[in-house]
A = this chain, B = another copy of it.
Amino acid sequence: MGKRLQSKILIFALITNVFTVFSYQIENTANIVNNDNIVSNVIHPKLILTAQGVEDIREQLGSIPIFDKTLAKVKAEVDAEITAGIEVPIPKDYSGGYTHVRHKQNWVILQKAGVLYQLLDDEKYAKYVKDMLMQYEAIYKTLPVHPKTRSYARGKLFWQCLNDSNWLVYVSQAYDCIYNYLTKAERTRLETNLFRPFADFISIENPQFYNRVHNHSTWGNAAVGMIGLVMDDDELIQRALYGIPGADLDRNAKDDDGGYINKDGKAGFLANIEEPFSPDGYYNEGPYYQRYAMYPFLIFAEALHHVKPELGIFNYKGGVLLKSINALLNLSDADGDFFPLNDGQKGMSYYTSALVTAVDISYHFGGQNPELLSIAKEQDRVLLDDSGLAVALGIKNGFQEPFNKKSINLSDGPDGTQGGVSILRTEDLELAFKYAAQGSSHGHYDKLSFSLYEKGEEVIQDYGLARFVNIEQKGGGNYLKENKTWAKQTIAHNTVTQNETSHFTGKYDIGSLHHSDLHYFSSENKNVQVVSAIEENAYPGTTMLRTMAIIKDADFEKPYMLDIMKITSNKANQYDLPFYFLGQVLQTNFEYKTPQTLKPLGTENGYQHLFVEGIASGNNDNSKLSWLNDNKFYTLTSVTRANDELLFTRIGANDPDFNLRREPAILMRRKNSKQTTFVSTIEAHGSYSPVTESAVNSNSSIKAVKILLDTDDYTVIAITSVKDNTKLFITANRDAMQSTVHKLVVDQKEFTWEGSFVLIENK
């Protein structure tokens, strides 16, 4: 049926008010008479579901198991809500409180009910959506801003515009789904009293929230753009893509998290793609926030792809949106939990619903990579749209392949020139090394920090954020003050703190001007994978070059980690390097004293939160610490001197609300040094079974670690196993070229190699 004929039938139908439809396609086609009296044809749904997609899905229903299962679950959920009845309370609470939870639940159910109406063709769902939307419409116009005052941008339904934007992103989809179910008068009522004022409120009335480059704004942009696409409101669409025309914000204003609102004046959805994503797809705030931001990025992109294909949104900036999904999936441990870089809450994983969107969209629009199907299968649900159908068919046809995470180096910064993040993987060991830029307002002061995992369990932890997201009892579910006083501070991380002061003196203004730089990254040789990066700005006058390797050696049961932190300063300083091991101390090869009373290590910069549980002087060769965690053994072997202090610390001092986890670290303190190099290995070895009560390989396989040579050009570390084999790890501290041939005499032996590093037997 041609469009002209469709139009004629529909005009006839409208005129006679006998809206009898003949086919699905007709049912989903409406004639909108614009204010300016131009008649245009708009097919609904068009935003996420499409008319064609709905037809395809209906045809396949019952024969696509994962899709059918998801649909059945969604139906059960929505049916239960319909039975329970609609509740649209007057907003009152913070996150976790009743009204917050209820409105959040409403957006979820509205979106799902809209989808059910389309896929199941059952009017009860459309009616439910309509009825609830009308209740929102009834209260919205007279609703004051939310009574809770903590946010820099208070919403109306929620305490922050961010959550209002979440609501609109979902509800736009619901509206699109029942668009044709509504009369024109109903649509006009909703658009005039609810949607348009809603979109204006979160944008024009809150430019400090909307008109910036930030994950909050991405939600705002997507919300405005999606309702704009449904309403065919070009002003809103333009505002979504490019920001508020002529908005002029105070460039020095800051948000609740201490980040600049809009320092450089950029805004809009495209700028939000441009800025935070590196060409490799790394998102500058880290994976936890990328996961959060992913949904509006992708769902709005999908909508734009459907309604404005001419924009080519999935090819924008070299296809970075799809690349970013790959980056995100690789920024997770063996269990699929994202590495908690910056303000990341532990336990968030690619099983979260936002990642269902990411995986399905990536599969459908990004070349149908069969490895994604195995994640989709584990997620055990799909999007109820075209992309979900594609995934369901892929799984049904058995196309999936294992998702094989490899070592990866991801650049940071809009142009990929602001440092980055590396993940080294060998067997069960994963090393996450961060040499990135500040990471926006959610960034931590942790240049050249790392965390280490075995089989998805933390060996050396990154603390993550100090927040219990959505747990009302803990500060309303929001950031706790300890996030600033502890979690963001340098001493909370596995990197060097100079003179008990955080990197960039803990100042966002300074930190956000700088980034570390990659020296080199190499993962070609699976047995010796190395990343090396340099930081020159965290402490003016001090340079830190950290080289970390994961080495697989026949003398060792499992791969081990080598860590070389080379510090050069123009003055003498105190350097503190902690390792936040998890578990129970088993043994040390050094004497230590445990104080009778526990006192804080310091008074500020995070030091006030550390109790000192043990004090020692380093051995004059190696200091060793073994511990037991989760029935596995670990050993840290460090090159130390007698005037090094070794401190056992535990988090939890000055923590009046028990907001911090009581977890240990061993901290190496070297005083009064201009130039120095910290060298350590960490071995994972053996296991213990409480059922058989047998301890296997509970001792370190390292006899000695030595620094044989340490110059501006080279550092040479000798690692001797208990089997008395010695390997030299040599890293070039200046020339990182892969092609350079180096020649070096160590201990009267000459070594020659090509490239930035070498692991070589010392016979």
Interface residues, chain A, CB within 8 Å of chain B?
Answer: 96, 101, 345-349, 351-353, 468-474, 477, 584-587, 593-594, 596-600, 611, 613-614, 626, 628, 631, 648, 650, 652-658, 661-662, 664, 688, 690-695, 698
What is the bound-complex CA distance between A348 and B613, given in angstroms? 30
- B662 to A586, Cβ gap below 8 A? no
Known: A349-B690, A470-B693, A470-B695. 11 other contacts (CB 8 A): A96-B698, A345-B690, A347-B631, A347-B691, A348-B691, A469-B690, A470-B694, A472-B695, A474-B587, A596-B654, A648-B658
Cα of A688 to Cα of B101 in the assembled complex, Å: 14
User: A586: which of B347, B471, B693 is its contact (CB, 8 Å)?
Assistant: B471
A352 in contact with B691 (CB, 8 Å): yes
Residues of B within 8 A of A468 (CB): 586, 628
From B101, B596, B653, B661, give the contact of A584 (CB < 8 A): B661
CB distance from A384 to the nearest CB of B (A): 18
CB distance from A123 to the nearest CB of B (A): 30
With beta carbons under 8 angstroms apart, the residue of B345, B471, B692, B694 that contacts A698 is: B471
- A586 and B469 within 8 A (CB): no
Q: State the CA gap A424–B545 with chains docked (Å).
A: 60
Is the pair A626, B473 in contact by a Cβ cutoff of 8 Å? yes
Residues of B within 8 A of A346 (CB): 690
- Residue contacts A-B, CB under 8 angstroms, 11 given: A348-B691, A351-B691, A352-B692, A473-B626, A584-B661, A594-B655, A594-B656, A597-B600, A648-B658, A662-B662, A662-B664
Q: Which 5 A-B pairs have the closest CB atoms?
A: A347-B690, A585-B658, A598-B598, A473-B587, A473-B586
User: A586 near B474 (CB under 8 angstroms)?
Assistant: yes
CA A653 – CA B352 in complex, angstroms?
41
> In whole angstroms, how far apart are the Cα atoms of A177 and B654 in the complex?
66
Known: A597-B597, A598-B611, A600-B596. A692 touches B353 (CB 8 A): yes
> Complex Cα distance A690/B351, Å?
10
* Residues in B whose Cβ lies below 8 Å from that of A692: 352-353
Chain B CB within 10 Å — which of A96, A626, A695 has the most? A695
- The docked-state distance in angstroms from the alpha carbon of A613 to that of B600 is 13
List B contacts of A470 (CB < 8 A).
693-695
Residue from B101, B597, B657, B693 in contact with A598 in the complex, judged by beta carbons closer than 8 Å: B597
| CB-based nearest B residue for A586 | B473
**A742 vs B688: C-alpha distance in the bound complex, in angstroms?**
55
Q: Contacts A598-B598, A658-B584, A692-B352 given: A698-B347 contact, CB under 8 Å? A: no
Q: Closest approach, in angstroms, between the C-beta of A290 and any C-beta of chain B?
A: 15
Contact B348 A698 (CB under 8 A): no
Tell whether, in the assembled complex, residue B471 and residue A688 are in contact, meaning their CB atoms are under 8 Å apart: yes
Known: A474-B586, A698-B96. A693 touches B594 (CB 8 A): no
A693 touches B348 (CB 8 A): yes
User: What residues of B have a CB within 8 angstroms of the CB of A474 in the complex?
Assistant: 586-587
Chain B residue with the shortest CB-CB distance to A696: B101
User: Considering only CB atoms, which chain B residue lies closest to A474 in the complex?
Assistant: B586
Which of A473, A600, A611 has the most B CB atoms < 10 Å from its CB?
A: A473
Residues from chain B with a CB closer than 8 A to the CB of A650 are 662
B690 and A471 within 8 A (CB): no
Considering only CB atoms, which chain B residue lies closest to A346 in the complex? B690
Q: Is the CB of A348 within 8 A of B690?
A: yes
- Which residues of the other chain, B, contact A611 by a CB distance below 8 angstroms? 598
Within the assembled complex, what's the spacing in Å between the Cα atoms of A655 and B693? 24
Q: Is the beta-carbon distance between B586 and A695 smaller than 8 angstroms?
A: no
- Which residues from chain B contact A349 at a C-beta distance below 8 Å? 690-691
Residue of B nearest to A691 (CB): B352
Residues on the B chain within 8 Å of A593, using CB: 656
In angstroms, Cα B473 to Cα A657, docked, is 36
In the complex, the answer to whether B469 meets A693 with C-beta atoms within 8 Å is yes
| Given known A-B contacts A347-B691, A596-B600, A471 and B628 have beta carbons under 8 A apart | yes
A650 to B648, CA, bound (A): 17
Bound complex: CA A585 to CA B690 (Å): 29
For A656, the chain B residues whose CB sits under 8 A away are 593-594
For A472, give its contact among B471, B584, B698 (CB under 8 Å).
B698
Kindly provide the distance from the CB of A16 to the nearest chain B CB, expressed in whole angstroms.
48
A693 to B96, CA, bound (A): 10
CA distance A695 to B104 in the complex (A): 13
Q: How far is the CA of A235 from the CA of B731 in the complex (A)?
A: 73
Q: Give A585 to B614 CA distance when docked, in angstroms.
A: 25
How far does the alpha carbon of A611 sit from the alpha carbon of B650 in the complex, in Å? 13
Q: Are A693 and B473 in contact (CB under 8 A)?
A: no
Q: Tell me if A695 and B662 are in contact (CB < 8 A).
A: no
Closest to A631 in B: B347
Docked complex Cα distance between A657 and B599 (Å): 18
Q: Using Cβ atoms and an 8 Å threshold, which residues of chain B touch A472?
A: 695, 698
Give the distance to chain B from A643, nearest Cβ to Cβ, in Å: 23
A537 to chain B, nearest CB (A): 34
**Given the complex of chains A and B, what is the CA–CA distance between A693 and B468 in angstroms?**
9
Contacts of A351 in B (CB 8 A): 691
A352 proximity list for chain B (CB < 8 A): 691-692
> Measured between C-beta atoms, what is the minimum distance from A85 to chain B in Å?
19
Write the nearest CB–CB distance from A157 to chain B, whole angstroms. 17
Smallest CB gap from A614: residue in B = B658
A376 to chain B, nearest CB (A): 16
Question: What distance in Å separates the Cβ of A692 from its nearest Cβ neighbour in chain B?
Answer: 7
Instruction: Note all chain B residues with C-beta closer than 8 A to A594.
Output: 654-656, 658
Tell me how far the C-beta of A723 lies from the nearest C-beta in chain B, rounded to whole angstroms.
Answer: 15
In the assembled complex, which residues on chain B have CB atoms less than 8 Å from the CB atom of A691? 347-349, 351-352
Residue in chain B with minimal CB distance to A664 = B662
Asked if A698 and B473 make an inter-chain contact with CB atoms under 8 angstroms apart, the answer reads yes
Residue on B nearest A627 in the bound complex, by CB: B658
Cβ distance A589 to chain B, nearest Cβ, rounded Å: 11
A353: chain B residues within 8 A (beta carbon): 692
| A600 neighbours in B (Cβ, 8 Å) | 596-597
Q: Which of B345, B585, B648, B695 contacts A96 (CB 8 A)?
A: B695
Contacts of A648 in B (CB 8 A): 658
